[in-house]
Structure 1
């Protein structure tokens, strides 16, 4: 097969389209780039959706942690503590073991059978764990930023007669985002990298439709040479990281557009080696 034919046959294999059988004969560099890139679609799926839903949940958790009422504050504090205090891999393991215990036939809800077998699939269960994990970390980031809102900004809002939702929407939340965005960018990068842990979790890859690391391991086992597929996977993730930095940098400039150029904070990325 020529390289264009390989790309046509395997580009969307991770989604169930194209060639069903993995290459077993001569494995070329084009095979490896194509299939690992195909698996990257699932890493993008996990990363984008977990970030999108986790962003709003994290903001809600940050507000709950800052609430004066202990009934609202304590559950948020414990949620953040548990998910920040335990390793992500163990969270995957515990979530899978808990979801497996659900009835195989589903729940009978007023005569309507609600299926539960889909919860143990990687696309649902692993995404849920990543969503909870990033929400906890991002909530602590947003909470710290919320507590760091300059007192002068709050007094200015009070002087203008702003209260409640108007004060939060016009002053508190925009300032919180500006202060939290550099740290949140690092969290977004880490989450995308953490999607590779789905491969090691108990959530199965349906019909060999795995992520980038799934195909990298497959080629490493078949060719007995891990120094080609794993660097290819690393290359793809470096490209994703550069894309994230660019997109979040644009948002950062948008959030600080009202400041003079010399006063606008630069986006500094500090990758976390160990979490």
Structure 2
């Protein structure tokens, strides 16, 4: 079998297109690169959807935590504390068994026991909690002079938030939020190792890398391939977020623009 035939058979296997069975012997480098790359489809799916949906909840959590009303502040504080204070692996584990228990009583929860939806909900809440804390810190760092200037121009409520508060909060939070986006994509590798089953062996990139490592007894081929895919994905995320960062800081002098810096997230 040529490498092109391997790509045709296994390139989209992780989403149910192509060969149904995994290779059992004579594992080639092309098979490993193709199948691990196929699994990256799920990592990108989880990362993009969780990031997009979590952004809006994170903004709401930041505003709620900064609110003077306990009815808004306390729920935001506890949700942020809960998902930042517990390991993501444990969140996947408990979420799966929670959805499994709810499924027995309410069949409508059946889709949540599948990774494509249940794990996505966990990642959505987790990144919203981390991002909400980042946005909250940026919200507190908004210069008072900006708010006073908005008040002097007669801005209040939604107009002040849309024109002054939100853009400034994003500009201040964006470097740290970029790091959160990167580590969110890295965290997607935990999905199929924490409770959510891989139906018909349709797992993510780490699932296939582990499969080849177990079959060949040589982890020094599949895992570097996996690392290469994630390095490439990280470069893409940094590039895209860097363009947005330049857009947010376009009105500032070059010397005062914040640069994106990668920092290790040791807690998650």
Same fold (TM over 0.5): yes
1:107-142 CA distances to partner (integer Å, 9 max, x unpaired)?
5xxxxxxx3221100111111001101100000000
1:148-203 CA distances to partner (integer Å, 9 max, x unpaired)?
10011011111111111000000000000000000000111111000001121110
Match in the other structure for 1:110: none
Match in the other structure for 1:229: 222
Mapped partners of 2:30, 2:72: distance in 1: 54
SS class of match (1:267): coil
Mapped partners of 1:30, 1:67: distance in 2: 55
Q: 2:23 aligned with 1:23, yes or no?
A: yes
Could you tell me which runs of 5 or more consecutive residues in structure 2 were left unpaired when the two chains were aligned. none
Shift of 1:103: 3.7
Match in the other structure for 1:88: 88
Question: Are the structure 2 counterparts of residues 121 and 103 from structure 1 closer, same or farther at C-alpha, using a change threshold of 3 Å?
Answer: closer
Q: Which runs of 4+ in 1 moved over 3 A?
A: 103-107
1:16-50 CA distances to partner (integer Å, 9 max, x unpaired)?
00111111121110000000000000000110000
Match in the other structure for 1:265: 258
Shift of 1:274: 4.4
Match in the other structure for 1:150: 143
Match in the other structure for 1:250: 243
Mapped partners of 2:258, 2:207: distance in 1: 39
Aligned residue pairs total 268
Q: TM-score, normalised by structure 1?
A: 0.95
Mapped partners of 1:72, 1:160: distance in 2: 28
Question: Are the structure 2 counterparts of residues 76 and 199 from structure 1 closer, same or farther at C-alpha, using a change threshold of 3 Å?
Answer: same
Which stretch of structure 1 is more off in the superposition, 94-103 or 51-60?
94-103
Shift of 1:67: 0.7
Q: Please, which of 157, 160, 163 is the counterpart of residue 167 of structure 1?
A: 160
Shift of 1:206: 1.2
Match in the other structure for 1:41: 41
Alignment of 1:182-197 (within 5 A): 182-197=175-190
Q: Please, which of 162, 170, 194 is the counterpart of residue 177 of structure 1?
A: 170
Q: 2:66 aligned with 1:73, yes or no?
A: no
Mapped partners of 1:138, 1:83: distance in 2: 11
Mapped partners of 2:265, 2:68: distance in 1: 33
When the two chains are superposed, the root-mean-square deviation of aligned CA atoms in Å is: 1.1
Shift of 1:105: 7.0
Could you tell me which runs of 5 or more consecutive residues in structure 1 were left unpaired when the two chains were aligned. 108-114
Mapped partners of 1:16, 1:163: distance in 2: 52
Shift of 1:97: 1.2
Mapped partners of 1:193, 1:205: distance in 2: 18
Q: 2:142 aligned with 1:128, yes or no?
A: no
